[in-house]
Amino acid sequence: NAGVTQTPKFQVLKTGQSMTLQCAQDMNHEYMSWYRQDPGMGLRLIHYSVGAGITDQGEVPNGYNVSRSTTEDFPLRLLSAAPSQTSVYFCASSYSIGVDSYEQYFGPGTRLTVT
């Protein structure tokens, strides 16, 4: 299994440009999430999905859109990039079995710079 993959690894955008960060997992996990990591802030949840066709907002959703048409893919769209979106973005997936829930598996991250 490749686990959770993210593309690209690095990206530089100009203010106002749009782009999509790709995330895919091959573990058949139901749950997927996007986080951003900023210096001294830990990781903060942007959006999450509990299954194909179901998404919801996390702590810092403004400026981002998501969709989940398949179990495997969970892309994150920046509609009009702003310098405040300069960050490292992590995608994660997780699963549960019965009443037991397991850890999130994280992708390698995408480092985004908006100039």
Partner 1 sequence: AQKVTQAQTEISVVEKEDVTLDCVYETRDTTYYLFWYKQPPSGELVFLIRRNSFDEQNEISGRYSWNFQKSTSSFNFTITASQVVDSAVYFCALSDLPFNSGGSNYKLTFGKGTLLTVNP
- Binding footprint of partner 1 on the chain (CB under 8 A): 30-33, 35, 40-45, 48-50, 58, 88, 90, 92, 94-96, 99-106, 108-109
> What CA–CA distance (Å, rounded) separates 115 from 39?
18
**Residue among 65 and 104 whose Cβ is closer to partner 1:** 104
Nearer to partner 1, 44 or 77 (CB): 44
Q: Give least dist CB 95 to partner 1, A.
A: 7
Kindly tell me the burial class for residue 104, based on how many C-beta atoms sit within 10 Å of its own C-beta (0-12, 13-18, 19 or more): middle
CA atoms within 13 A on the CB side of 19: 20
Q: In angstroms, what is the minimal distance from the CB of 31 to partner 1?
A: 4
Which CB sits closer to partner 1, 14 or 113?
A: 113
Q: How many helices (H) and strands (E) does the chain have?
A: 0, 13
